[in-house]
Amino acid sequence: MTTRELQDRIIELKKEKDVCILAHAYQSHDIWEVADYIGDSYGLSVQAAKAPQKTILMCGVRFMAETCKILSPGKRVLLANALAGCPMAMQINRKQALEMKKAHPGLPLVAYINTTASLKTVCDVVVTSSSAVRIIKSMPENEMLFVPDCNLGGWIQEQIPEKKLHLMKGGCPTHMRMTARDVKMIKAMHPHALVLVHPECLKEVVDLADYVGSTTGIMKYAKESDAKEFIIGTEASIVQHLQFDCPDKNFYLLSKECVCHNMKMTTLVDVLHAVEGTGGDEISLPDDTIRDARKCIDRMIELGG
Residues near ligand 13P (CB under 6 A) are 25, 40-41, 114, 128-130, 172, 198, 200, 214-215
Q: Which residues are bridge partners to 201 per DSSP? A: none
Site track for ligand SF4 across 17-46, x = CB under 6 A: ------------------------------
235 binds ligand SF4 (CB under 6 A): yes
State the pairing for strand pair 76-79/281-282.
antiparallel
Enumerate residues 251-290 that contact ligand SF4 by CB under 6 A.
260, 262-263
Find the shortest distance in angstroms from Cβ 200 to ligand SF4: 6
Give a three-class secondary structure readout of the chain. Answer: CCHHHHHHHHHHHHHHCCEEEEEECCCCHHHHCCCCEEECHHHHHHHHHHCCCCEEEEECCHHHHHHHHHHCCCCEEEECCCCCCCHHHHCCCHHHHHHHHHHCCCCCEEEECCCCHHHHCCCCEEECCCCHHHHHHHCCCCEEEEECEHHHHHHHHHHCCCCEEEECCECCCCHHHCCHHHHHHHHHHCCCCEEEECCCCCHHHHCCCCEECCHHHHHHHHHHCCCCEEEEECCCHHHHHHHHHCCCCEEEECCCCCCCCCHHHCCHHHHHHHHHCCCCEECCCCHHHHHHHHHHHHHHHHHHC
The answer to whether residue 177 forms part of the interface with ligand SF4 (CB under 6 A) is: no
Which entry of ligand 13P, ligand SF4, none binds 262, CB below 5 to 8 A by partner kind? ligand SF4
- Comparing CB distances to ligand SF4, the nearer of 257 and 292 is 257
Q: Which is nearer to ligand SF4, 79 or 107 (CB)?
A: 79
By CB under 6 A, tell whether 296 contacts ligand SF4.
Answer: no
Torsion, CA 199, CA 203, CA 209, CA 212, rounded to 10: 20
Nearest approach, Cβ of residue 136 and ligand 13P (Å): 15
Taking the complex as a whole, the smallest distance from the CB of residue 231 to ligand SF4 amounts, in Å, to 18
Least CB distance from residue 3 to ligand SF4, whole Å?
Answer: 24
Decide the pairing of beta strands 250-253 and 229-233: parallel
With CB under 6 A as the contact rule, the residue among 65, 123, 125, 172 that binds ligand SF4 is: 172
CA–chain centroid gap for 114, Å, is: 7
Segment 119-158, which members bind ligand SF4 (CB under 6 A)? Answer: none
232 binds, among ligand SF4, ligand 13P, none (CB under 5 to 8 A by kind): none
| 174 belongs to the binding site for ligand SF4 (CB under 6 A) | yes
Instruction: Give yes or no for residue 114 binding ligand SF4 (CB under 6 A).
Output: yes
- Per CB under 6 A, the segment of 82-90, 116-124, 159-167, 282-290 that binds ligand SF4 is 82-90
Residue 121 interacting entry, from ligand 13P, ligand SF4, none, C-beta within 5 to 8 Å by type: none
Residue 147 carries which side chain, given as an amino acid letter? Answer: V
Q: Which of 23, 88, 197, 231 binds ligand SF4 (CB under 6 A)?
A: 88
Name the site residues for ligand SF4 (rule: CB under 6 A). 61, 86-88, 114, 172-175, 200, 235, 260, 262-263
